[in-house]
Chains A and B, each alone.
Chain A
């Protein structure tokens, strides 16, 4: 069975899973998958794994617990796919996020993009991770030597055009 293009769940993530998901994606929309074999037009696949680090802001991290508002997180991923479809029409996206307890070294997010040329695949992949950090309703609870803390990053607002432009600027840098 082909893995879904967009997913959030407790199963471990790995590069082969996300690569298989994006390899099976066809169609004109970044989030569309028909499960058919690739048509040969794409010359690039870029993959990204985000891993749990053993240090953060001077703290020795023991593990993270990820929490999400799952149905809304999936909608955020769909929105990101749609934004990528608008900005890089030939790029396709697969994005899986893990929740629950993750040990140091485990992957919390896996992203794969493909496109006819490498530039768009690299840019779309970077854009996807930047947008996840901006608008996906997901939270890290960090457990470190001596305590625990909820990590609070961006105030999520998908309509904030300045944030979106910043993600695009980073993606195309």
Chain B
């Protein structure tokens, strides 16, 4: 399966990309994608506890299973307003 990963703010700076394509195994969760990315970019690990995540622009928990073609987003703590 192939998913798109969207990264914002400092997460985008760390990875150098606002959007990445990643291959994942069937049955993979958002958390699996995160751990794969954190393996590639060790600086991401510090966000493990403060991170939010989304599937197709809806908030979703890290244990949610993803599907082929989904857009996964990782959101550092927000600061709008």
Query: By the criterion of a CB under 8 Å from any partner CB, how many residues of chain B are at the interface?
Result: 20
B10-A150 in contact (CB<8A): yes
Number of A-B contacts (CB under 8 A): 89
B49 to chain A, nearest CB (A): 8
A155 with B79: in contact, given A67-B8, A69-B8, A150-B9 (CB under 8 Å)?
no
Per DSSP, chain B at the interface is: mixed
Q: Which residues of B contact A137 (CB under 8 A)?
A: 8, 52, 54, 73, 75, 78, 80
Within 8 A of A (CB), among B1-51: 6, 8-10, 13, 50-51
Q: Does A13 contact B (CB under 8 A)?
A: no
Find chain B residues with CB under 8 A from A68 CB.
Answer: 80
Partner of B77, one of A50, A141, A155: A155
Main secondary structure of the interface of A (DSSP, over half): mixed
A residues in contact (CB < 8 Å) with B: 50, 66-69, 71-73, 75, 97, 108-109, 129, 132-141, 150-159
- Assuming A69-B73, A152-B79, what are 6 further A-B pairs, CB within 8 angstroms? A50-B81, A133-B80, A137-B8, A139-B9, A155-B78, A158-B59
